Copies of this chain bind each other. A is one copy, B any other.
Amino acid sequence: MTIPDLSSGQFQLVSNMLSLSIAAMFGSFLFFVMSRQQLSAKYRPAMVMSSLVVGIAGYHYWRIYASWEHAYTLTSTGTYVASGSPFNDAYRYVDWLLTVPLLVAELVAVLALPKVTRNSIMPRLIAASAAMVALGYPGEVSGEAGVRVGWAVASTIPFIYILYVLWGELSKAAAKNDAGTQVLLRNTKLLLLGTWGFYPIAYAMPLLGIGGAGALVALQVGYTIADITAKCGYGFMICAIARSKMAAEGVTVDEDASVLA
């Protein structure tokens, strides 16, 4: 993939967004690690998964930042031009391959469903979300429109299956919660759908003939905002669900902490 020349402002905008993401991911990591002890034991696995998601993503953003800095050279006129070193966007796919299954597992975990239900739903969601990411990649790296569309269709099948499980089976299993928790659950699923909706749009951009410096910058900034929302924001929602469920169960943080670690 050849990368277009960028103005100083365009290059810095992407650099700063990538750095913001590193800070947001590792900041959220610290929060999830430390505040899992404020939750009842049964909600802690969800917080552990949230920690893994943002920890892994923080690592990948560190790599993406370094790859971005190496891919460009500042010229004496103040323009940034390709250095010849490739900008490795595959870090994003490797990241998603690990974090997307964890994100859906997180939602199942925070519901603290009966073991039988959980053991039925969780493996199917994990397999489907890993398949969704893996099937998207061959299309992402192909310059040929036909190949791109083919893999996009293949990747959409597990995506639709995930939506079916989340809105169908999982919603049914979660229906026993109090009204406040149900609102949080619905918002979390909408957050997930809304942020995940950005990725296919980015994927389709080359097919629509959108390219050049502006498109590259928009894509990197868009991916970064979507990732921060879908990982950090989503993790905070999961934490709020756990607290809401604890409140409904009559467990306060105080009472709980005295018997926990």
CB-based nearest B residue for A29: B30
Produce 1/0 per residue, A1-24, CB < 8 A to B: 000000010001001100110111
- When the two chains form the complex, which single residue of B35, B52, B85, B90 contacts A45, counting CB atoms closer than 8 Å? B35
Q: Does B63 lie within 8 Å of A74, measured CB to CB?
A: no
**Residue A129 lies at the interface, judged by CB distance under 8 Å to chain B:** no
Q: Does A257 lie within 8 Å of B254, measured CB to CB?
A: no
- When the two chains form the complex, which single residue of B12, B94, B253 contacts A23, counting CB atoms closer than 8 Å? B94
Are A84 and B74 also in contact (CB < 8 A) when A30-B55, A55-B27 are? Answer: yes
**Residue A68 lies at the interface, judged by CB distance under 8 Å to chain B:** no
Produce 1/0 per residue, A48-88, CB < 8 A to B: 10011001100110010000000000101000000011101
Q: Which residues of the partner chain B approach A166 to less than 8 Å between Cβ atoms?
A: none
Q: Does A94 lie within 8 Å of B45, measured CB to CB?
A: no
Q: Which residues of the partner chain B approach A44 to less than 8 Å between Cβ atoms?
A: 34, 38, 257
Closest beta carbon of chain B to A88's beta carbon, Å: 7
Closest beta carbon of chain B to A2's beta carbon, Å: 11
Residues of A within 8 A of B (CB): 8, 12, 15-16, 19-20, 22-24, 26-27, 30-31, 33-38, 40-42, 44-45, 48, 51-52, 55-56, 59-60, 63, 74, 76, 84-86, 88, 90-91, 94-95, 97-98, 253-254, 256-261
A-B contact sample (15 more), CB < 8 A, given A16-B91, A19-B60, A42-B253? A8-B86, A19-B91, A19-B94, A20-B94, A20-B97, A23-B56, A23-B59, A23-B98, A26-B55, A27-B55, A27-B98, A34-B48, A35-B45, A40-B257, A41-B257
